[in-house]
Amino acid sequence: MKLLILDRDGVINYDSDAYIKSVEEWIPLPGSIEAIAQLSKAGWTVAVATNQSGIARGYYDLATLDAMHERLRALVAEQGGEVGLIVYCPHGPDEGCDCRKPKPGMLKTIAAHYNVSLTNLWFVGDSLGDLEAAKAVDSQPVLVKTGKGEKTLGKTLPAGTLIFDDLAAIAAELIHN
């Protein structure tokens, strides 16, 4: 099985320090929907692991989050692809859960769902927490320069981190190699 795991905000859609609180605020980054559809059509399963502490903070509810994810699925389907499992951490940063990145709980959930090893599997994110979660389970950390990615470049990245401009560049790399 060819499995790719993506962070959501800053990788698939525009991010905001004020949180993405509604379907209207959930706006795909240029080329991201097409990239997911291309990967899907090329035999890749594309899963999503996303911190969503806005739920714990009361900024939006699960129904709104589900609606955002249905929008993502619908847009990718319009391009002939599909999105695999979407897992999210609804907890705040101080709740001590095992799922909030940089902890790798969501990645483990996805691996268990698909019955695959996380070793060397690509996890694409735009933050140091994403890259650290990948490294914690021997996955391949992949940084995109979208979202917080440009700022993250200025930090000490885990050894072996791959860097791409955006999700479209990753799709091109994986499909053509």
91 annotated as ligand-binding: yes
* 166 catalytic residue (yes or no): no
Closest-CA residue to 66 (of 81, 79, 50) = 50
Neighbour-count burial of 157, counting CB atoms closer than 10 A to its CB (0-12 exposed, 13-18 middle, 19+ buried): middle
Is 130 known to be catalytic?
Answer: no
- Neighbouring CB atoms inside 10 A of 26's CB total 21
The answer to whether the annotation marks 9 as part of a ligand binding site is yes
7 labelled binding-site residue: yes
Neighbours of 138 (CB within 10 A): 12
Catalytic residue among 7, 15, 130, 166: 7
Residue 126 annotated as binding site: yes
* Distance of alpha carbon 80 from alpha carbon 99, whole angstroms: 31
Instruction: Determine phi and psi for 151, rounding to 5 degrees.
Output: -65, -40
Instruction: Give the residue numbers marked as catalytic.
Output: 7, 9
Write out the binding residues for Zn(2+): 89, 91, 97, 99
Annotated binding site for Mg(2+): 7, 9, 126
* Binding-site sequence positions: 7, 9, 89, 91, 97, 99, 126
